[in-house]
Amino acid sequence: MTSGTTVIATSDLAKHFGDVQAVAGVDFDVCDGELFGFLGPNGAGKTTTINMLTGLARPDAGVIRIAGIDCSRNPKAAQHLIGVVPDESNLYPELTGFENLSFCAALYGMRQAQREQRARELLGMFGLRDAAERKFAGYSKGMKRKLTIAAGIIHNPRILFLDEPTTGIDVAAARQIRQLIADLSGAGTTVFLTTHYIEEAQRLCSRIAFIVSGRIIRIGTVEQLMRQAEGRHVVEFAVAGGAAGLCAALAGAFSHLQCQALSEGAVRVDSAEPVRIGPVVRFLEDHGGEVAEARKVEPSLEDVFVRVTGIEASAMKREKEKAGASA
Amino acid sequence: MKRWIAVWNILAKDMRSYYLKPPNISWGLLFPLAWTGMFFIKSGAELDGVRGLLPGLVSVSVLFGTTSMLAVTVTFEKKGRSFERLLLAPIPLELLMLAKTSGAMLFGVANAFVPILMAAFLTDLSGVVWSAVVPAIVLIAVASTFLGLFIAVSASEVFEAQTLSNFFRFPMIFLGGLFFPVQHLPAVLRPLSYALPLTYGADVLHAGFCARGQMPLGLNLLVLTAFCAGLFVLSLRNIRRKWIR
Ligand SMILES: Nc1ncnc2c1ncn2[C@@H]1O[C@H](COP(=O)(O)OP(=O)(O)OP(=O)(O)O)[C@@H](O)[C@H]1O
Ligand SMILES: [Mg+2]
């Protein structure tokens, strides 16, 4: 659905907070109609980047252009074109769902009849019609997230920024939200999405940037990124008696293997050469593990992410889920 | 046009969410009523004295009515992050903050009329120069609202905003010439009086209610207007520096 026109362009964008270099010179372009993903762990600089692009934070350096408008000096210049869904719901707890949407529409200058119609339409689309007259404070987490997304698109923005839209909500609600994002993108909205779910980025995004410690490590379409996995060999071992603790030892003993613990009882190894299963199984068993199964699997985007960033995807997910549960 | 739809709705939402809520209406009314009642009782049967108390009572009602509301409408919304929605809206920051503060100004002006209405029942208010009193009330409301905004932007917690407000409010009651003329203050404190916006507003009220102004009316209104502009510009600068950082 992309037309090739660049609608978001940054160059050398940087931002620090005290000693922390939150964003350290990022460059990327997003084309009209594209669904672009920013994938990275906690503290990578995803939210800071969105804040700079949307006018909530001032960059220390760099250039931002939104739909051709230079927003580096005047962050308000392009705000009429964008919708923002923050990582935490920021609607008014004392207003009902309907009132919240109507109010947000008014902020973009929509007239009363138009805003009420649009609010009703979105409440229906997000399955919140029955909760329309209930106060936002009493919504469940998933409902809050949906209404926050609805508020972000109330004025039919040309560009939508979504900061971790599916973190901390249940599987069914997350699936629904992913479908809504895909539909929005299908209808021509440019979407800038941050996430720490690799599968989510892979499934939804046309292009992905891996961001770690404020830097973009890799950027490309899913196919381009997956090409880095070509010729790689991946084997998963199911280990009774716990495997997570053996990962480091395994990597130490077999320097050509990249190891990551998928769960307490599963290890995934990735190598440029075919993996000789025998020595690995013997090593695991000698160190107290009992290997129940070993199978070759197709390399995934997750393997690419782990290899280029050195970050264990499962650790990233666990950390996030903890943060989501405590939020 | 689009901007005015936004501005009107920001004001209307604040009115519904905060100002027209029963606790605030009653607080807004009760507080000036209590003050006024207390002073009127103390001044006893001498009803002529009632008029002399009005400048102070009106100023205090406006000051407390406005400054206390900003801690909620601004600091509380900032903490709850809903303020970000406003910062993301395509409205210039100046207009946005005017929309966000206009409710408090109206609330302040309404509060000012509580003691005036009470006094109207107790004493004859003929001869009051309304053409001085009304602009003074409006300017005091604007100046104290922007003082409240300045404080609200400096604080990150509601209680912090309230504590900080008291730090400004109580000295103003005593130093602003509200209940006794600035000339009665010790000479060392007098310069401080002239650094406070309320001093100029109260002086106009003294002139309007009982023809006891100390400074020229025009000068008072001019200085008060300058305070309004200064506090607004300072608050905007702080918002840009602290909240869009
Ligand atoms: N307002 C702030 N004050 C101080 N430090 C900040 C501020 N905002 C962000 N940081 C720091 O900047 C870095 C990047 O933070 P940012 O929120 O952009 O990361 P993120 O990728 O969105 O992380 P998460 O996945 O946890 O949301 C972090 O080290 C964070 O602590
Ligand atoms: Mg974030």
Ligand nearest to the CA of A43: 1
Ligand nearest to the CA of A39: 1
> Once rounded to an integer, what is the mean pLDDT over residues B88-117?
94
> Residue B29 in contact with residue B107, Cβ under 8 Å?
no
- Give the C-alpha separation, A143 to A248, whole Å: 41
> Residue A229 in contact with residue A304, Cβ under 8 Å?
yes
The per-residue pLDDT for range B177-216, each reduced to its tens digit, is 888 888 888 889 989 999 999 999 999 999 999 888 889 9
Indicate the fold that domain A228-326 takes in CATH.
Answer: Alpha-Beta Plaits (3.30.70)
- Judged by a CB distance cut-off of 8 A, whether residue B187 touches chain A is no
Domain edges within chain A: 6-227, 228-326
Task: List chain B residues with CB under 8 Å of A94.
Answer: 17
Largest CA distance in chain B: 58
- Give the C-alpha separation, B127 to B22, whole Å: 35
> Once rounded to an integer, what is the mean pLDDT over residues A23-45?
96
Torsion of the alpha carbons at A100, A105, A107 and A112, rounded to the nearest 10: -100
* pLDDT band at residue A327 using 50, 70 and 90 as cut-offs: very low
> Once rounded to an integer, what is the mean pLDDT over residues A280-292?
90
* pLDDT band at residue A307 using 50, 70 and 90 as cut-offs: confident
Q: Is A311 helix (H, G, I), strand (E, B) or coil?
A: coil
Q: Is A33 helix (H, G, I), strand (E, B) or coil?
A: coil
Identify which has the larger pLDDT, B142 or B127.
B142
Which of A86, A91, A106 is the closest to B5 by Cβ?
Answer: A106
> Once rounded to an integer, what is the mean pLDDT over residues A80-87?
97
Which of B2, B81, B245 is the closest to A109 by Cβ?
Answer: B2
**pLDDT value of position A245:** 78
Of all residues in chain B, the percent with pLDDT exceeding 70 is 95
CA distance B109 to chain A (A): 26
> Once rounded to an integer, what is the mean pLDDT over residues B138-155?
94
**pLDDT value of position A303:** 85
Interface test with B, best of A76, A144, A159 (most B CBs within 10 A): A76
Task: List chain A residues with CB under 8 Å of B87.
Answer: 55-56
Of A141-145, A230-234, B18-22, B169-173, the range with the highest mean pLDDT is A141-145
Per the CB < 8 Å rule, is B81 touching A111?
no
> Once rounded to an integer, what is the mean pLDDT over residues A301-316?
79
Residue A259 has pLDDT above 50, yes or no: yes
Identify which has the larger pLDDT, B131 or B38.
B131
Pocket lined around ligand 1, Cβ cut-off 6 Å: A 17, 20, 22, 40, 42-48, 87, 196
- Give the C-alpha separation, A1 to A185, whole Å: 8
- Give the C-alpha separation, A7 to A81, whole Å: 10
Per the CB < 8 Å rule, is A107 touching B244?
no
Per the CB < 8 Å rule, is B90 touching A57?
no
Residue A160 has pLDDT above 80, yes or no: yes
Q: Which amino acid is at A180?
A: L
CA distance B234 to chain A (A): 19
Angle separating helix axes B48-70 and B158-175, nearest 10 degrees: 160
**Closest residue by CA, ligand 1 atom 13:** A22
Phi and psi, residue B72, nearest 5°: -85, -55
- Give the C-alpha separation, A136 to A120, whole Å: 15
Angle separating helix axes B93-122 and B22-42, nearest 10 degrees: 40
Count of residues in chain A: 327
**pLDDT value of position A317:** 63
Q: Which amino acid is at B41?
A: I
Which of B5, B82, B245 is the closest to A90 by Cβ?
Answer: B82
Instruction: Name the CATH superfamily, with its identifier, for domain A6-227.
Output: P-loop containing nucleotide triphosphate hydrolases (3.40.50.300)
CA A263 – ligand 2 centroid, Å: 25
Domain that holds residue B194: 2-242
Interface test with A, best of B9, B76, B87 (most A CBs within 10 A): B9
Q: CA dist A217 to A214, A273, A310, B59, Å?
A: 9, 24, 11, 61
Q: Is A218 helix (H, G, I), strand (E, B) or coil?
A: strand
Task: List chain A residues with CB under 8 Å of B8.
Answer: 106
Q: Is A193 helix (H, G, I), strand (E, B) or coil?
A: strand
Largest CA distance in chain A: 73
**pLDDT value of position A175:** 93
Of all residues in chain A, the percent with pLDDT exceeding 70 is 94
Residue A215 has pLDDT above 90, yes or no: yes
Identify which has the larger pLDDT, B12 or B34.
B12
Q: Which amino acid is at A53?
A: L
- Judged by a CB distance cut-off of 8 A, whether residue B72 touches chain A is no
Domain count, chain B: 1
Q: Which amino acid is at A127?
A: G
- Side-chain half-sphere exposure of A140, counting CA atoms within 13 A: 8
- Judged by a CB distance cut-off of 8 A, whether residue B90 touches chain A is yes
Residue B40 has pLDDT above 80, yes or no: no
* Residues 6 or more apart in contact with residue B99 via CB below 8 angstroms: B6, B7, B8, B10, B11, B91
ipTM here: 0.89
Task: List chain A residues with CB under 8 Å of B13.
Answer: 92, 95, 103
- Give the C-alpha separation, A74 to A65, whole Å: 11
The per-residue pLDDT for range B62-100, each reduced to its tens digit, is 998 898 888 888 988 998 899 999 999 999 999 999 999
**pLDDT value of position A320:** 56
> Once rounded to an integer, what is the mean pLDDT over residues A275-302?
90
* pLDDT band at residue B169 using 50, 70 and 90 as cut-offs: confident
Tokens representing A235 are 């084997």
**pLDDT value of position A3:** 64
